[in-house]
Chain A
Amino acid sequence: MTPSIEAVWRLEARRLTGALLRAGADLALAEDCVQDALVAALQRWPAEGWPERPGAWLMTAAKHRLMDRMRHMQMAAREQQALGDDADALATHLAPDPLDMLLADEADEVGDDALKLMFIACHPKLAREAQWVLTLRLVAGLTVAEIARALFAKEATIAQRITRAKAQLAGEPFELPPASARATRLEAVCTVLYLMFNEGYAATSGAEWTRPTLCLEALRLARHLAALLPTEADVQALLALMELQASRLPARTDGLGRPVLLLEQDRRRWDHLLVRRGLEALARCRSLNALRPQGPGSLALQAELAAVHARASHAEETDWLQLLRLYDALLAQQPSPVVALNRAVALGYAIGPAQALPLVEALPLTGYPWWASVRADLLQRLGRVEQAREALRQAIAWTDNERERVLLLERLERM
């Protein structure tokens, strides 16, 4: 029994693409050549037997393919030029011999290629969907069909998006961003992965449980990034946040697939391996942040928030005061009504519903069902049941998520 040739190729694809880009190919050309290497393997391995070092074989095949293509392009250029230019002009226009470049290139020991791929796929000039698609294609190594499945889009749409994204990136250098731009670019990468994760995660409950693959691929990419950049506090924070949130996936829906809110989840069903991995990543993040003058960023604070929940084995053990302190810090960095609402929820438990209610009511969140639902909860705890019912009805009217509606209706009946 052997793995499929495709599975072996996939383990190598990122490395192959990186090497070809480094040798001067553009994205489209590099991808074509890497694909050609798979085709060559599919044709030859079954007949000739598997090579001893499949990775090296694929690398050689991809490089040969690139040389052929570049020679071909050079010849075409030469023929055009030869019509009018003299030999000197010709020489200055020609690209260096690709063979020289390929022989000169060294193995990528430190994983820089993988990082460069990540940076280019999450390039700020691309639209969000293009960043996702390109990251899934280039970095995660998914096929067009798999990406289409993960995003519930048509294959043709995805293929088109990839082509367009590559065209947009034509001329962008395949290199690590300069020091001056590095922090911003890394932030962009983290944001792409986090939004991708959230899209999958939020969709895992409710009517749109459509993108679990997206969630898990984003987590895998975050693990990849965190291993490449072990000393970046925000990357460790991103990983911690994702591991901790993903640890709740098994408990987020009941046996019938209905969503279960955090405080009502059966915490024994959490994935405790992921909890541990999340807390470990957070510990690394903390020790890195201890060296950083500006202290923890918003990703680190969000990971801390998730960790407070992860450490409570029962909802009643939740350290609401600690949550309140963390939300205070987060609100200072990220002043948004939704963060303020979450802070008010923590305050409602840490101090009391009477103190939280006026804060909640002052928020400009009309139309946001979760806001009405928090109000309902606080009113109920204050014994103002009729007003609580009214608020719940409002939440029901505002939600366009079918499962959320069912959940809210059940609450209304119980009240």
Chain B
Amino acid sequence: MPRYMIQVRATAMSEAGDFPDDPTLVPRMMAFHDEMARAGVLLDGAGLQPSSQGFRVQYDAAGQVNIMDGPFAETKELIAGYTLIEVRSRDEALAWAQRFPAPFPGQSCCIEVRPLMGGVDLPPDDAERIIREQLATIKQGG
């Protein structure tokens, strides 16, 4: 089954280490994750500390390593949290993601959903075709 990572993109607020002033946010977020867990979909998830607490290891073309401390400037490209789900299809990932509560209510914000690479991440038709081919080969061999 394909896995998808729902990335919560950072905002100026998350980068400052502040939380939205909405008492319903945490319960809603927990209820949603609980629902995904109950549906057998949720694999993992966590919030990330601001980039000021992190660092980067930068490689130049010659393979030279350079360590850079946070914070990093491109706020909207940074990640403030992630939720890892395992679903049957892209369609199902979309259906879940559409119900993801806005992570920073009252301000413009974004979640980005990306499929993970991996051996099991095949479109169903393809998987079925491969299995059938294998079966045919085995039948010929036997």
Contacts and interface: CB of A to CB of B under 8 A. Distances in A.
A169 interface: no
B42 to A, nearest CB: 8
Given A216-B1, A227-B40, A273-B44, A257 B91 contact: no
Nearest to B94: A3
Interface string A4-22: 1011101100000000000
A207 B134 CA distance: 8
Contacts of B89: 7
A212 B37 contact: no
Contacts of A219: 40
Interface in A155-181: none
Contacts of B127: 212
Interface in A250-285: 250, 257, 273, 277
A402 B86 contact: no
B141 interface: yes
Contact of B37 (A10, A149, A227, A257): A227
Contacts of B61: none
B97 to A, nearest CB: 8
A1 interface: yes
Given A111-B38, A212-B131, A223-B40, A2 B98 contact: yes
Interface in B103-142: 118-120, 124, 127-128, 131, 134-135, 138, 141-142
A11 B91 CA distance: 11
Nearest to B142: A402
Contacts of B37: 223, 227
B41 to A, nearest CB: 7
Contacts of B135: 207, 209-210
A222 interface: yes
Nearest to B34: A227
B119 A3 contact: no
Contacts of A402: 138, 141-142
Contacts of B128: 149
Interface in B32-47: 34, 37-44
Interface in B43-64: 43-44
Given A207-B138, A212-B127, A212-B131, A221 B96 contact: no
A249 interface: yes
Contact of B96 (A11, A210, A212): A11
Nearest to A1: B94
Interface string A206-225: 01011010001001111110
A322 B95 CA distance: 45
B92 interface: yes
Nearest to A5: B95
Nearest to B3: A273
Interface in B67-118: 84, 86, 89, 91-92, 94-96, 98-99, 118
Interface in A369-415: 402-403
A1 B138 CA distance: 42
Contacts of A111: 38
B6 to A, nearest CB: 14
A249 B119 CA distance: 10
A220 B142 contact: no
Contact of B98 (A3, A6, A207, A273): A3
A14 to B, nearest CB: 8
Contact of B95 (A8, A220, A227): A8
A221 B92 contact: no
A220 B1 contact: yes
Contacts of A250: 118-120
Nearest to B141: A402
Interface in A192-245: 207, 209-210, 212, 216, 219-224, 227-228
A114 interface: yes
B101 to A, nearest CB: 14
Contacts of B39: 11, 224
A220 B41 contact: yes
B103 to A, nearest CB: 19
Residue of B1, B92, B95 with most partner-chain A CB within 10 A: B95
A268 to B, nearest CB: 14
Contacts of A222: 40
A250 B40 CA distance: 21
Nearest to B133: A257
22 contacts: A2-B94, A2-B98, A3-B92, A4-B91, A7-B94, A8-B95, A10-B92, A10-B95, A11-B39, A11-B96, A149-B124, A209-B134, A209-B135, A210-B135, A216-B1, A220-B40, A223-B37, A249-B120, A257-B134, A273-B44, A277-B43, A402-B138
Interface of B: 1, 34, 37-44, 84, 86, 89, 91-92, 94-96, 98-99, 118-120, 124, 127-128, 131, 134-135, 138, 141-142
Given A249-B120, A277-B44, 16 more contacts: A3-B91, A3-B95, A7-B89, A7-B95, A8-B95, A11-B39, A149-B124, A149-B128, A210-B135, A212-B120, A219-B40, A224-B38, A224-B39, A250-B119, A402-B141, A403-B138
